[in-house]
Amino acid sequence: MIYGVFSDVHGNYEALRAVLSFFKKNGAGGYICCGDIAGYGAQASECVDAITPLPNLHCVMGNHDAALVGRMDLKWFNPTATAAILYNRHFLRGEQLEFIAGLPELVEREDFTLVHGSPKSHLKEYLLSEMQFMDNLRYWKVSPCFIGHSHMPVYFALEGEAKVPATDFLKPMCAMRLAQDSRYIINPGSVGQPRDSNPLAACGLYDSSARTFELFRIDYDVEKTKRVMREAGLPPMLVERLSLGF
């Protein structure tokens, strides 16, 4: 199965549309969404409607999704993030809120594991270091484990008999081969709010038969997303950062 892997859409419908179109053109038969559909952007409703019909969809709840449906206290969020959560709460229909409220925090399949933050702390931990990767190893079983939350396209690996983990940023045109006897945690970066100084939407393709993962960066109409956010009255900082990728 070829899976389209994506995370942290954050209500950026134009970026999501471009990524889903790329997945379809490249033969995706399943979809892995690492959470945070909502938050920051103005179009969580449109994003939920685009994601829910995807075939073979596996999706976990992110911290912004949890806050949207009242499962996480807004004290954990800064004022700009809170403004976006409150804006989107107003526009989501009942069945959309039900979809988000029903998302699991952890998905364990025969060909991957899926969680938003980390296997140890599903909604809160930003997994960014080798030390955290090693600390998390005992909390999950099936490799690869896909995560989101930090918005950084990055992988961690413990390969073969190695005692020391490897890590690096994921770049386009560099497919990873995922060895059967090794452990990998992979973050596909963010669709809707990249933070690695590259404003292009990030996503990946996971081939569970060939056991490969490849990262891609997708161009989209960022000015349209910014216009919609401005019209929604969202904080200017949230709007302007999209062109800079931070």
The residues binding Fe ion (CB under 5 A) are 8, 36, 62-63, 149
Nearer to Fe ion by Cβ, of 10 and 17: the residue is: 10
Nearer to Fe ion by Cβ, of 105 and 111: the residue is: 105
Nearer to Fe ion by Cβ, of 149 and 217: the residue is: 149
Nearer to Fe ion by Cβ, of 149 and 226: the residue is: 149
φ, ψ for residue 192 (rounded to 5)?
-100, -10
Position of tokens 């700009």? 80
- Minimum CB distance to Fe ion, residue 19 (Å): 15
Nearer to Fe ion by Cβ, of 122 and 149: the residue is: 149
- Minimum CB distance to Fe ion, residue 224 (Å): 21
Bin 151: left if φ > 0, else alpha if -120 < ψ < 50, else beta.
left
Nearer to Fe ion by Cβ, of 80 and 182: the residue is: 80
Nearer to Fe ion by Cβ, of 58 and 149: the residue is: 149
CB burial of residue 83 (10 Å; 0-12, 13-18, 19+): middle
Q: State which H helix or E strand residue 188 sits in.
A: strand 183-188
For 102-133, letters b (16+ CB in 10 Å) and e give: ebebebeeeebbbbbbbbbbbbebebbeeebb
- Minimum CB distance to Fe ion, residue 10 (Å): 6
- Minimum CB distance to Fe ion, residue 179 (Å): 29
DSSP class of residue 175 equals P
- Minimum CB distance to Fe ion, residue 146 (Å): 14
- Minimum CB distance to Fe ion, residue 74 (Å): 14
CA distance 186 to 143: 10
CA distance 34 to 148: 5
- Minimum CB distance to Fe ion, residue 34 (Å): 9
Distances in Å between the Cα of 213 and the Cα atoms of 15, 19, 148, 238 are 21, 16, 15, 30
Give me the amino acid identity at 161: E
- DSSP strand pairing (183-188 vs 153-158): antiparallel
Q: Please give the residue whose beta carbon sits closest to Fe ion in the complex.
A: 36
